[in-house]
Structure 1
Amino acid sequence: MKQLVAAEQADPIAAIVAARDEAGTFLNSGDFEGGLALIDRSVIHAESTLTGRERAYGLGILHLRGLTLAGRLKDKQTTNRHIQAAWRAAEYFPEDITAHGILFGAENTATHVISTASDMDQHRQAMNAADDLIRGGMPLPAARVGPLYMNLGRSQLAVGDQDGALESLEKAWRVTPEMAAVHPTSLELTRVLLSKHKRSNERLTKLAKRAGISM
């Protein structure tokens, strides 16, 4: 609420950033429909108040939040609508940029699409997209690379590739060890891998101990 009040006295993009963050509280609390309603209102506001690259950036970060919310609802039509809009916005930026503390661009959009594909059980699609991004050099900050490998591991596990999932989990630990130690996807991936391994696996046991997961 403090952010929203402050945004009313700042430039128009501040209100969009505040709305994106507010939608994040809906996401974290599980109210995906409420978050989507807020995103829809904010998109209309951004379209009428912003121009140029600032407009593309504002709409882009809103649509990224929208596709994540819609993916959690497994609403394919709404998810695709936000994905297409996010890609259009990303075309304005040859490279990912960070503004107002938020990263946006084609690579970051790809990571969101991959995560949402996993949420919607489109695991082959998520794996193919992740492979393309990784082979392209992945010019992303570690805070995005770690979750990318976690989501890749989640999809690999879903299609029965336990070895690939473990390898991706290890890569997430190498890139962002502090995040991997507490991130829900990392912890769940570790627990499921432990339950599926019939024999002791030294690599997996090491990760479980680092995460504080009892064997």
Structure 2
Amino acid sequence: MSTDLAPGANLAALRKDRGLSQVQLARKASVSVSLLSKIEVGDRTLTPAIATVLGKAMGLTMAEVLGRAGAAGGEQQLTALRAAIRDYDLPGRERIEEKKINAALGAALSLRKEVKVAELLTALPKLLRDATTHAHEANTPEAWMVLSDAYSAAYWLAARHRWMDLAELAVTRQRWAVEQKPNPLGAAVADRDRAGTYLNFGDVESGLTVIDRAIANAERDLSGTERDIAVSILNLRGMTLAGRLPDKREAGREAERHVQSALRTSQGMSHVLNVHGLTAGPQNVLAHQLATYVDLGKPRDALAITDDLPTALAGLPPTRLAPTFINAARAHLDIADRQGALEKLALAWDAAPQMARIHPMGQEVFRVVSSLHRRSNRELLRLAKIAGIDA
């Protein structure tokens, strides 16, 4: 079921639906009643790590606690997407020109990069059906990779909305497509996306197992720039997963291992590279490093990475800019810098307005900043209007 509630408010609703008091849930999850109370009223953010432990105490995944976002393009389009993914082995009869399908994929990946989620949801069903038809007819590594990339875009869209059943199905189809013809780089991209489903379910240990195995495969099967790209994007996912390990000492150690590997493999990339819908390069390493430090409970370390975040992120697409600014806002909030948090939220909202409606941590930081201000604020009202959130 979709919800318009920010994660902390959604948590309160889930707890009450299960007839649990704050004391009972806090005891089951081994968190303090004070923390749970502050999260529910909007004085503290509900972090992914806390969402995971509270979810387990209620028999829910992290994604369910954060709340499923509604389909901006409409439930009819979501139904069409589900049907297209279901018909993965049923190609159409009309021949699809390679030039046409490549252009359609390029347009979809641009919508993903610009975080135009409603438009992407509208485009994906036809893209998947046409890519399926073309792949079965051409039966080349390039054609199957186009289909794999289309499924990757579907995974990305589903994961952003916390439609985790659809996300799991999309990555399964993505892996199936890329395995039709040998394609080690495509396999690395598919493994990176599969590990993302474990991240959203809160099963970080299994996600890290997928990543470490994928890195070993990439180092064995690829060489040169393709190997560096594959190892880099896999390490980016690895550091995010590692940062959410329950044992913070182990989390810090594992995260740093992935950080250093990502830095090494991105050294030769002088600018941002866009590969199969993903971003590689030193700017994206910085973005993930900042997010990981915030997850590790090191907000000052996160903010100390750079004193000019917009410049440091130059060249990254909105799909990466917005989450990074949101993570920076969370870091400011963690050190009681409400104005800094609001400023970074404004950058995130301006970079990708549609993400403001669906990003759980963006909604949560906004909710807490609004609660702490406890007065009318022009910038809060502007952001609320963009995001469709009550301020």
CA displacement at 1:132 relative to structure 2: 4.3
1:70 partnered with 2:246: no
Partner Cα distance (2:225, 2:309) in 1 = 24
**Pick from 287, 290, 296: which aligns with 1:120?**
296
Structure 1 unaligned regions, length at least 5: none
Equivalent residue for 1:178? 354
Partner Cα distance (2:348, 2:185) in 1 = 33
Whether the aligned pair in 2 keeps the contact of 1:156 and 1:164 (CA below 8 Å) is: yes
Whether the aligned pair in 1 keeps the contact of 2:353 and 2:386 (CA below 8 Å) is: no
Partner Cα distance (1:176, 1:134) in 2 = 14
Aligned residues: 215
Equivalent residue for 2:112? none
Matched residue SS, 1:72: coil
- Deviations for 1:125-151, whole angstroms, at most 9, x for unmatched residues? 111224344344622112222122111
Partner Cα distance (1:137, 1:100) in 2 = 20
- Deviations for 1:64-111, whole angstroms, at most 9, x for unmatched residues? 110000011140110000000000110121112111111101001110
**Pick from 141, 144, 149: which aligns with 2:320?**
144
1:154 partnered with 2:316: no
Whether the aligned pair in 2 keeps the contact of 1:13 and 1:58 (CA below 8 Å) is: yes
**Pick from 129, 143, 167: which aligns with 2:343?**
167
Whether the aligned pair in 2 keeps the contact of 1:107 and 1:133 (CA below 8 Å) is: no
Percent of aligned pairs with the same amino acid = 43
Q: Which gives a bigger RCO, structure 1 or 2 (Cα 8 Å, sep 6+)?
A: 2
- Rg (Cα) greater in structure: 2
TM-score by length of 1: 0.93
Equivalent residue for 2:210? 38
Partner Cα distance (2:313, 2:293) in 1 = 21
Whether the aligned pair in 2 keeps the contact of 1:96 and 1:103 (CA below 8 Å) is: yes
Partner Cα distance (2:219, 2:348) in 1 = 37
- Deviations for 1:166-203, whole angstroms, at most 9, x for unmatched residues? 11111211111111222112100111012111322232
**Pick from 236, 260, 265: which aligns with 1:84?**
260
1:4 partnered with 2:175: yes
Partner Cα distance (2:371, 2:308) in 1 = 30
**Pick from 15, 29, 33: which aligns with 2:201?**
29
Partner Cα distance (1:111, 1:167) in 2 = 17
Partner Cα distance (2:224, 2:242) in 1 = 27
Change (3 A) 1:191 1:137: closer
Whether the aligned pair in 1 keeps the contact of 2:191 and 2:210 (CA below 8 Å) is: yes
Change (3 A) 1:22 1:136: closer
Letter in 1 for 2:269: F
Whether the aligned pair in 1 keeps the contact of 2:269 and 2:281 (CA below 8 Å) is: yes
Partner Cα distance (2:308, 2:289) in 1 = 12
Whether the aligned pair in 2 keeps the contact of 1:130 and 1:148 (CA below 8 Å) is: no
Letter in 2 for 1:152: A
Equivalent residue for 1:187? 363
TM-score by length of 2: 0.53
Farther off after superposition, 145-154 or 33-42: 145-154
Structure 2 unaligned regions, length at least 5: 1-171
Equivalent residue for 1:211? 387
Whether the aligned pair in 1 keeps the contact of 2:306 and 2:312 (CA below 8 Å) is: no
Equivalent residue for 1:61? 233
Letter in 2 for 1:37: T
Partner Cα distance (2:290, 2:234) in 1 = 17
Letter in 1 for 2:341: A
CA displacement at 1:51 relative to structure 2: 0.8
Farther off after superposition, 79-88 or 140-149: 140-149
Letter in 2 for 1:2: R
CA displacement at 1:13 relative to structure 2: 1.1
